């Protein structure tokens, strides 16, 4: 006779665990089935991706440089305003002391009136608004009160200006931090790609980079293009003395440079101050759109967003700090997207 014993039902907890496990197994199987097999990038593909990341890092670097320059400028401006406020407060205190001395002298002579007492116990702005009391003051007291009122307005304006600049400084510091992270992120991504190469591939890429640096750093045929000016020639010669120095983002020399760091340093050696960033340097002089009109020492701006700059070297060559992993060297302008030259 068949048994009609009732089967024991699994607990709810056990059912839930089994169901979850089964679902996970199905999901993993589906993902495995749909995932494309990973393919190792070849050396040339890695180099192309790394070069692109370096370019993006340089774009972020110029934004970083701009934020850093703005931060330094704001800090100087805030310091100047704070010094002015401190001096102004001292002047205000002297003016108040002077008026108090007048009131004291008047009191001793029996001539102090209620209007002066009113000033000593309230805001002089409020007091001066009461025109009917002005005729009770001496001309000396009126002049003193007006000076105090002007100084108070001046101090209030300077304090408000300082407060606004402090807000701007805080925002600039945040921007600076974000751009620094962006640059570091791009460089880290590039390094991960390079780390994916075999030892042999890494050696080949390194040798390729060294050959490019060496051949471009040697004296190339610069033709006989004249210098843009005596100072432009001096700036170019200064830059030449830095050939072989490494590219480092945010660097302005003398041990390493980024692109605009090199050009601003070179012109500084010639006694000329130009802006720090490539974007600002693009507006630092007369633009020259015809390459044939360029002269040695002219700034050369590349790419649509002006994120790269070098010095014209003659014969279609530029002297520049190219990118991370490279050194200051000559390079054919045709390797980059030329926008225009700038004659300082």
Per residue in 78-135, pLDDT (tens digit) is 999 999 889 888 888 888 787 766 556 555 545 545 555 555 555 555 555 554 444 4
Residues annotated as part of the active site = 259, 308, 320
Identify whether residues 254 and 328 lie together within a single domain: yes
Identify whether residues 139 and 267 lie together within a single domain: no
Cis amide bond preceding 254, omega within 30? yes
Cα 325 to Cα 248: distance, rounded to the nearest angstrom: 8
Please say which residue of 148, 179, 196 terminates a domain: 196
Identify whether residues 52 and 191 lie together within a single domain: yes
Instruction: With respect to residue 335, please indicate whether it lies within any of the assigned structural domains.
Output: yes
Q: Tell me: pLDDT of 149 over 80.
A: yes
Instruction: With respect to residue 19, please indicate whether it lies within any of the assigned structural domains.
Output: no
For 44, the token pair is 């040339």
Identify whether residues 291 and 329 lie together within a single domain: yes
Instruction: With respect to residue 203, please indicate whether it lies within any of the assigned structural domains.
Output: no
Q: How far is CA 139 from the centre of its chain?
A: 54
- The pLDDT tens digits for 194-251 are 999 898 988 888 888 887 777 665 656 777 789 999 999 999 999 999 999 999 999 9
The answer for residues whose C-beta is within 8 angstroms of residue 257's C-beta and 6 or more apart is 242, 245, 247, 248, 251, 265, 321, 328
- The CATH number of residue 113's host domain is 1.10.287
Identify whether residues 124 and 62 lie together within a single domain: yes
Identify whether residues 51 and 173 lie together within a single domain: yes
Cα 189 to Cα 201: distance, rounded to the nearest angstrom: 18
Instruction: With respect to residue 34, please indicate whether it lies within any of the assigned structural domains.
Output: no
Cα 32 to Cα 342: distance, rounded to the nearest angstrom: 56
Identify whether residues 73 and 114 lie together within a single domain: yes
- The CATH number of residue 243's host domain is 3.90.1720.10
The predicted structure's pLDDT at residue 215 = 63
* pLDDT > 70: percent of the chain: 75
Count of the separate structural domains present in the chain = 2
Least Cα distance to 232 among 95, 109, 341 occurs for: 341
Instruction: With respect to residue 217, please indicate whether it lies within any of the assigned structural domains.
Output: no
> What is the three-class DSSP state of 176?
helix
Domain that includes residue 124, residue range: 43-196
Q: Tell me: pLDDT of 183 over 60.
A: yes
List, as one string, the DSSP characters of 137-169.
Answer: S-HHHHHHHHHHHHHHHHHHHHHHHHHHHHHHH
């Amino acid at each position: 006779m068949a048994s009609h014993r009732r089967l024991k039902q699994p607990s709810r907890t056990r059912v839930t665990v089994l169901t979850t496990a089964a679902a996970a197994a199905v999901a993993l199987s589906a993902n495995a089935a749909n995932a494309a097999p990973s393919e190792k990038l070849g050396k040339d593909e890695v180099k192309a991706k790394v070069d692109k990341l370096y370019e993006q890092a340089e774009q972020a670097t110029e934004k970083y440089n701009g934020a850093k320059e703005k931060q330094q400028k704001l800090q100087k401006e805030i310091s100047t305003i704070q010094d002015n406020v401190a001096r102004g407060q001292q002047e205000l205190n002297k003016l108040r002391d002077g008026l108090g001395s007048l009131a004291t002298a008047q009191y001793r002579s029996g001539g102090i009136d209620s209007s002066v007492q009113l000033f000593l116990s309230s805001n002089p702005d409020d007091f001066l608004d009461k025109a009917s009391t002005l005729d009770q003051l001496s001309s000396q007291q009126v002049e003193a009160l007006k000076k105090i009122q002007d100084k108070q307005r001046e101090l209030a304006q300077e304090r408000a200006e300082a407060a606004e600049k402090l807000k701007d400084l805080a925002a600039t510091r945040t921007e600076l931090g974000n751009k620094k992270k962006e640059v570091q992120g791009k460089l880290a991504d590039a390094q991960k790609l390079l780390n994916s190469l075999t030892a042999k591939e890494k050696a080949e890429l390194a040798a390729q980079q060294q050959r490019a640096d060496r051949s471009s750093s040697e004296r190339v045929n610069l033709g006989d293009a004249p210098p843009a000016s005596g100072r432009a020639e001096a700036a170019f010669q200064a830059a030449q003395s830095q050939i072989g120095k490494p590219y480092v983002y945010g660097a302005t020399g003398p041990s390493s440079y980024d692109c605009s760091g090199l050009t601003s340093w070179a012109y500084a050696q010639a006694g000329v101050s130009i802006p720090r960033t490539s974007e600002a340097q693009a507006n630092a002089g007369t633009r020259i759109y015809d390459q044939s009109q360029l002269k040695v020492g002219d700034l050369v701006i590349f790419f649509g967003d002006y994120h790269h700059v070098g010095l014209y070297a003659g014969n279609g060559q530029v002297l520049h700090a190219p990118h991370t992993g490279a050194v200051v060297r000559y390079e054919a302008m045709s390797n980059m997207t030329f926008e225009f030259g700038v004659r300082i």
